[in-house]
Chains A and B, each alone.
Chain A
Amino acid sequence: MGDLKLQNITIDYDHTPVVHDFSLTVENGQMASLLGPSGAGKTTVLKAVAGLLQPRSGEIFIDGRLANGLPPEKRNAVMVFQKNLLFPFMNVEQNIGFGLRMQGRSNAEVHRRIEKILELTELTGLNRRKVHELSGGQQQRVSLARALVLQPAILLLDEPLSSLDATLRQQMRELIQDIQAQTRITTLFVTHDQAEALMMSQRVCLLLNGRIRQVGNPQELFYRPADPEVARFFGGCNFFEGQLKNGVYYSPFATVAAPELADNGQRLNATIRPEDILISVKGTQGLPGRVQKASFEGGTTRIWVQCQNRVFVVLAPRTDLCAGQNVRLHLPKDKIRIFPPGN
Chain B
Amino acid sequence: MTTDTANARGNARTRPNPGLLVIGRLVVPALAVVTLLFGGGLVLGLVQSLGYLPATGMQMFTLRHFAGVLSDPDFFYSLGLTFYIAATSTATAALISVAMALVLTSLARRQRVVHFIFQIPLTVPHLVIAVALVFMMAPTGLLSRAALKLGMINSSASFPLLINDSWAIGTLTAYVWKEVPFITLMILSVLRRTGMELLEVGKTLKASRRQRFFHITLPTIFPSLAAACLIVFAYTFGAFEVPFLLGQTYPMTLPVWAYKSYSDVDLMARPEGIAIGLIIAAVIIAAVVAAQLLTKAARHRGLVL
Give the B-binding residues of A (Cβ under 8 A): 50-52, 71-73, 77-79, 81, 83, 85, 87-90, 94, 98-99, 102-103, 146-147, 150, 156
Identify 16 residue pairs between A and B in the complex whose beta-carbon atoms are under 8 Å apart, listed by A's number: A50-B204, A51-B203, A52-B204, A73-B203, A73-B206, A77-B204, A81-B201, A85-B201, A87-B216, A87-B304, A88-B194, A89-B305, A99-B205, A99-B207, A102-B215, A150-B205
CB of B219 within 8 A of CB of A146, answer: no
Those 9 A-B pairs whose CB atoms lie nearest each other, nearest first: A72-B203, A99-B205, A102-B207, A89-B219, A79-B204, A73-B206, A85-B201, A50-B204, A102-B211
A103 vs B216: C-alpha distance when bound (angstroms): 15
CB of A102 within 8 A of CB of B206, answer: yes
Chain B residues whose C-beta falls within 8 Å of the C-beta of A72 in the assembled complex? 200, 203-204
Chain A residues whose C-beta falls within 8 Å of the C-beta of B216 in the assembled complex? 87
Report if B264 contacts A (CB, 8 A). Answer: no
With CB as the reference atom, state the residue of chain B lying closest to A94: B304
Contact among B194, B207, B219, B220 for A73, CB-based, below 8 A: B207
CB of A52 within 8 A of CB of B205, answer: no
Q: How far is the CB of B218 from chain A (nearest CB, A)?
A: 10
Known: A81-B197, A90-B304. A150 touches B206 (CB 8 A): yes
A87 vs B215: C-alpha distance when bound (angstroms): 10
Report if B198 contacts A (CB, 8 A). Answer: yes
Known: A90-B304, A98-B215. A103 touches B206 (CB 8 A): yes
Known: A89-B219, A90-B304, A94-B304. A99 touches B197 (CB 8 A): no
Chain B residues whose C-beta falls within 8 Å of the C-beta of A71 in the assembled complex? 203
Known: A52-B200, A83-B197, A102-B215. A89 touches B220 (CB 8 A): yes
A308 vs B169: C-alpha distance when bound (angstroms): 91
Report if B111 contacts A (CB, 8 A). Answer: no
CB of B207 within 8 A of CB of A98, answer: yes
Chain B residues whose C-beta falls within 8 Å of the C-beta of A90 in the assembled complex? 219, 304
A72 vs B202: C-alpha distance when bound (angstroms): 9
Can you add 10 more A-B contacts, CB < 8 Å, to A88-B194, A102-B211?
Answer: A50-B203, A72-B204, A73-B208, A79-B201, A85-B198, A94-B304, A99-B205, A99-B207, A102-B202, A102-B208
With CB as the reference atom, state the residue of chain A lying closest to B205: A99
Chain A residues whose C-beta falls within 8 Å of the C-beta of B304 in the assembled complex? 87, 89-90, 94
Chain A residues whose C-beta falls within 8 Å of the C-beta of B220 in the assembled complex? 89
CB of B204 within 8 A of CB of A78, answer: yes
Chain B interface, DSSP helix/strand/loop, else mixed: helix
A79 vs B203: C-alpha distance when bound (angstroms): 10
Tell me which residues from 249 to 305 in chain B have a Cβ below 8 Å from any Cβ of chain A: 304-305
CB of B205 within 8 A of CB of A98, answer: yes
CB of A87 within 8 A of CB of B204, answer: no
Chain B residues whose C-beta falls within 8 Å of the C-beta of A156 in the assembled complex? 204
With CB as the reference atom, state the residue of chain B lying closest to A103: B206
Contact among B203, B207, B219 for A52, CB-based, below 8 A: B203
A292 vs B288: C-alpha distance when bound (angstroms): 74
Chain A residues whose C-beta falls within 8 Å of the C-beta of B211 in the assembled complex? 102
Q: How far is the CB of B212 from chain A (nearest CB, A)?
A: 9
Chain A residues whose C-beta falls within 8 Å of the C-beta of B201 in the assembled complex? 79, 81, 85, 87
Chain B residues whose C-beta falls within 8 Å of the C-beta of A88 in the assembled complex? 194
CB of A78 within 8 A of CB of B205, answer: yes
With CB as the reference atom, state the residue of chain A lying closest to B299: A89
Tell me which residues from 213 to 258 in chain B have a Cβ below 8 Å from any Cβ of chain A: 215-216, 219-220, 222
With CB as the reference atom, state the residue of chain B lying closest to A47: B200
CB of B197 within 8 A of CB of A102, answer: no
Q: How far is the CB of B305 from chain A (nearest CB, A)?
A: 7
Chain A residues whose C-beta falls within 8 Å of the C-beta of B197 in the assembled complex? 81, 83, 85
Chain B residues whose C-beta falls within 8 Å of the C-beta of A146 in the assembled complex? 205
A146 vs B202: C-alpha distance when bound (angstroms): 11
Tell me which residues from 168 to 223 in chain B have a Cβ below 8 Å from any Cβ of chain A: 194, 197-198, 200-208, 211, 215-216, 219-220, 222
A71 vs B205: C-alpha distance when bound (angstroms): 12
Chain A residues whose C-beta falls within 8 Å of the C-beta of B202 in the assembled complex? 98, 102
Digit string of B145-159 for contact with A (CB within 8 Å is 1, else 0)? 000000000000000
Contact among A81, A83, A87, A99 for B206, CB-based, below 8 A: A99
With CB as the reference atom, state the residue of chain A lying closest to B218: A89
A112 vs B220: C-alpha distance when bound (angstroms): 28
Q: How far is the CB of B194 from chain A (nearest CB, A)?
A: 8
Chain B residues whose C-beta falls within 8 Å of the C-beta of A78 in the assembled complex? 204-205
Chain A residues whose C-beta falls within 8 Å of the C-beta of B305 in the assembled complex? 89
A99 vs B202: C-alpha distance when bound (angstroms): 8
Chain B residues whose C-beta falls within 8 Å of the C-beta of A79 in the assembled complex? 201, 204
With CB as the reference atom, state the residue of chain A lying closest to B304: A89
Tell me which residues from 69 to 104 in chain B have a Cβ below 8 Å from any Cβ of chain A: none
With CB as the reference atom, state the residue of chain B lying closest to A90: B304
A130 vs B123: C-alpha distance when bound (angstroms): 40
A193 vs B219: C-alpha distance when bound (angstroms): 36
A71 vs B219: C-alpha distance when bound (angstroms): 23
A73 vs B204: C-alpha distance when bound (angstroms): 6
Q: How far is the CB of B253 from chain A (nearest CB, A)?
A: 36
With CB as the reference atom, state the residue of chain B lying closest to A143: B201
Chain B residues whose C-beta falls within 8 Å of the C-beta of A99 in the assembled complex? 205-207
A175 vs B211: C-alpha distance when bound (angstroms): 31
Q: How far is the CB of B66 from chain A (nearest CB, A)?
A: 42
A71 vs B208: C-alpha distance when bound (angstroms): 9
A83 vs B193: C-alpha distance when bound (angstroms): 13
A334 vs B54: C-alpha distance when bound (angstroms): 108
A85 vs B205: C-alpha distance when bound (angstroms): 12
Q: How far is the CB of A333 from chain B (nearest CB, A)?
A: 50
A85 vs B195: C-alpha distance when bound (angstroms): 10
Q: How far is the CB of A157 from chain B (nearest CB, A)?
A: 12
Q: How far is the CB of A122 from chain B (nearest CB, A)?
A: 21
Q: How far is the CB of A71 from chain B (nearest CB, A)?
A: 7
Q: How far is the CB of B110 from chain A (nearest CB, A)?
A: 14
A81 vs B203: C-alpha distance when bound (angstroms): 12
Chain B residues whose C-beta falls within 8 Å of the C-beta of A150 in the assembled complex? 205-206
